[in-house]
Amino acid sequence: MQLPVMPPMKPMLAKSVPTIPTGELSYEPKWDGFRSIVFRDGDEVEIGSRNEKPMTRYFPEVADAVRANLPERCVVDGEIVIAANGRLEFEVLQQRIHPAVSRITKLSKETPARFVAFDLLALGDDDLTGQPFAVRRAALEEALADVQAPIHLTPATRDSALAQEWFAQFEGAGLDGVVAKPLAGPYQPGLRTMFKIKHQRTADCVVAGYRVHKSGPDSIGSLLLGLYNDAGDLASVGVIGAFPAARRKELFTELQPLVTTFEGHPWAWGGEQETSRTPRSSEYSRWNVGKDLSFVPLQPDLVVEVRYEHMEGDRFRHTAQFNRWRPDREPRSCTYAQLEEPVTYDLADILAGSHRQ
């Protein structure tokens, strides 16, 4: 297989299922990082993102580790992650997407990234994408038998009971579920032929503001959610969106009586943000550069039940999903205390664990 410097290749994807499936499957932890395909041809190393965008410049330490650890010519599918305090830290990982080389260099030393390998797509002149996953996994284990950190081989098992244990335990280390791969399946770029099982929970949150939809100023784009912390302050925890077009307009009308000013609002910082267009740190993401994150403040009187997967620090890791309104709940009762806390699990034990189950 000829390995150009940066071949366009989408990773194989997974579709969500509610429970861990059984059958002729291989199970792996679901890593919470940047999905990446690594290409190595001698000293030439390129890291491609899920969207086929080059990522090499953001992770020079990973490129160096690839040269030191991976076979001379190969294509490996995996995940770039950053670990801190015994768990994955996605927010720290996001900071690496920065235009300044000096900043990237500094962070690569202060918070170095790791690459967790979970599929082998090519080795030497051999294209392995048409081979069953069972064959690719065996080849990956052989090729990475002596690999050293910060390159890691993900644990894998064919035991669904063990996968269920991983699902319950590994969340405490910052992982967000389990992936199941058909043992007989070839590698199919861009297709959802794997299965992912992620945690789903509910929380009652206060609606403290909204952003308008791009379709017009009379439609709701997203609702801003808050939870009260131990100090009695309403903390920003995330948003919900994805409403049907008609419902967006209905919501806009329904919420107008609750529109207020930033003076006296729990998030008075929103007024400063609206003026400066500089997002508050809790709302900031490297992926949101250039976006207007200002919002319309609401009296914090409404309570909504949302579905979420897990927390990243004190915020929802992903956009939450609307479940139902809770007129029976007092806003002040919506605290962090209601959230389920995962068991503590040391990430180092996962990275160093046996993968030949």
Amino acid in position 291: K
Chain-centroid distance of CA 150 in Å reads 20
d(CA 329, CA 314): 21
Known catalytic residue at 30: yes
* Interatomic CA distance for residues 290 and 279, integer angstroms: 10
Closest C-alpha among 256, 227, 243, 241 to residue 315: 227
Q: Which of 10, 15, 30, 198 is catalytic?
A: 30
Taking the C-alpha atoms of residue 330 and residue 308, their distance in angstroms, rounded to an integer, is 20
Give me 196's structure tokens: 């992912």
Q: Between vectors from CA 181 to CA 178 and to CA 183, what angle results, nearest 5°?
A: 145
Q: Judge residue 169's burial from the number of C-beta atoms within 10 Å of its C-beta, 0-12 exposed, 13-18 middle, 19 or more buried.
A: middle
Cβ 304 vs Cβ 325: under 8 Å: yes
Q: Which residue has the tokens 């260099």?
A: 105
Q: What is the DSSP string of 264-296?
A: T-TTTHHHHHHHH----GGG--GGGTT-----E
Catalytic residue numbers?
30
